[in-house]
Amino acid sequence: MNEMQTEEFLKRLQHLDDAVDTLNQHYSVKANILAGIIRGAATIVGAVLFVIVVSWLLKILGIIPGTEELTNIIKEAFYKVPN
């Protein structure tokens, strides 16, 4: 290798090192854990909203009997909770 090729090789190697450092900062363990927690919470919230909407639609259509009683029990329990 001549001197010019060596310099070019070192420049590329430095560029790769910088790219690896950038990737390590963006994809650290803390970032992955935080992203996992956020995705998990979003999945739970989405599932709960889905169940609420489907239950509400079935209640309106009259497919599930007795949902009004369950709704009243939940409302009473909610209003009994201290502020």
pLDDT tens for each residue of 55-76 = 878 777 767 777 777 777 877 8
Which has more pLDDT, 71 or 38?
38
> In the structure, what pLDDT confidence band is assigned to residue 83 with cuts at 50, 70 and 90?
low
Question: What are the extents of the domains in the chain?
Answer: 3-80
Model confidence, pTM = 0.49
Given a cut of 70, is residue 1 above it in pLDDT? no
Three-state SS for 9? helix
Q: How many CA atoms lie within 13 A of 79 on its CB side?
A: 6
41 — pLDDT class (breaks 50, 70, 90): very high
